[in-house]
Structure 1
Amino acid sequence: MWSVQQNEQPSADDIVVDLLVTAGRLTRLAGAISEDDVPRAVLRALAVLDEHGGIRVSEFARIDRCSQPAATALLGRLVTDGLATRTRDPQDSRAVLVELTPAGRTRLATARRAFAAAMAPGLADFPLDRLIRLDTDMNDLLTALRAVARGRQ
């Protein structure tokens, strides 16, 4: 938890750091205990394309914080596997947009369901209303932070 003294109130920064660490740990735990074998990089790529729609390779690389050659190779693998398509960017005929195919959406949904199934036994005694509240709160937080992110783009 927060790295503050017991009697001190944590700062918003301390709480956000803890939320980010916990979210990352939850994701890694789900991947480790899930029977789905999709590589983390592939799952991340599918999730980025799902969230952002058709995007340029350079934008994907920025979002995923990888090099453009690494993004090109990863997205090329998704295209080869039928999970994404490349189309000409209508704004710039020299560029391409990469987006999920229906098979890519299905693959992402399958992996996410496998993660949920793997975690379900650990949540059997966790109150449903608390899970709903956590989900709502995390989505509210995401909405607020997306507004900040839009201001930086």
Structure 2
Amino acid sequence: MQQTPVTSAEDSVVNLLVTAGRLTRLAGVISGEDLPRAVMRALAVLDEHGAVRVSEFARIDRCSQPAATALIGRLVADGFATRGKDPQDSRAVVVELTPAGRDRLQRARRAFGAALATRLSEFDTDRLARMETDLTELLDALKKAAPRQITVGD
């Protein structure tokens, strides 16, 4: 895989995004984890944002409202989420992660981490911790600089 030469901050950010996507896909492939990406992404959105309306979930996940409704229906059927009335608007539906959903997300994340960690013998724990700190600081800076709520899912 050839890395695009860095000539600007924008190029660096593009390279980071491409690499992060590839890293996540690789983790899914080598981990043996069978949780579909769409389900894992949906669980991550609910984990990060708490109870959200279906329309807000669709905006965060960048999918249509019918697609969000179908995905949420699957989460509810699997016991990973609950649907309820929005206390501020009884016509709206709010979706929330269940303890089982949070546990399933955590297990999938652990499987991803274990699969990658076993292949990183040349990376010491301190180096990985620095990378984690740098990425966390980058995400925090982007969230602070955003004109509206920034959301991240797995």
Same fold per TM (> 0.5)? Answer: yes
Aligned equivalents of 1:148, 1:69: Cα separation in 2: 31
Of the three residues 127, 132, 141, the one matched with 1:130 is 127
Q: In structure 1, what residue type is equivalent to 2:5?
A: S
State yes or no: 1:152 paired with 2:148.
yes
* Matched residue type, 2:29: A
Q: What is aligned with 2:111?
A: 114
Residue aligning to 1:47: 44
Q: Does 1:23 align with 2:20?
A: yes
Q: Which residue of 1 aligns with 2:152?
A: none
**Offset of residue 93 of structure 1:** 1.0
The answer to which structure has the higher helix fraction is 1
Runs of 4+ in 1 over 6 A off after TM superposition: none
Structure 1 residue 13 corresponds to structure 2 residue 6: no
Instruction: Kindly indicate whether structure 1 or structure 2 has the higher relative contact order, using CA contacts under 8 Å at least 6 residues apart.
Output: 2
The letter for the 1-side match of 2:115 is: A
Cα deviation for residue 148 of structure 1 reads: 2.7
Query: Could you say which structure has the larger radius of gyration?
Result: 1
- After superposition, what is the alpha-carbon deviation per residue over 1:52-77, rounded to whole angstroms, capped at 9, x for unaligned? 11111111111111110000000111
Matches for 1:58-77 after TM superposition, within 5 Å:
58-77=55-74
Q: TM-score, normalized by length of structure 2? A: 0.91
Q: In the TM superposition, what is the alpha-carbon distance from 1:83 to its structure 2 partner? A: 0.1
Per-residue Cα deviation, 1:23-69 (whole angstroms, up to 9, x for no partner): 00000000011111000000000001101111111111111111100
Aligned alpha-carbon RMSD (Å) = 1.1
Q: Which amino acid aligns with 2:49?
A: H
Alpha-carbon separation, structure 1, partners of 2:126 and 2:12: 22
Q: Determine helix, strand or coil for the equivalent of 1:2.
A: coil
Uncovered stretches (5+) of structure 2, i.e. residues with no partner: 150-154
Could you report, residue by residue, the CA deviation over 1:68-109 in whole angstroms, capped at 9, with x for unpaired residues?
000000011101110001121112111011010000000000
Whichever residue aligns with residue 33 of structure 1, its letter is: I
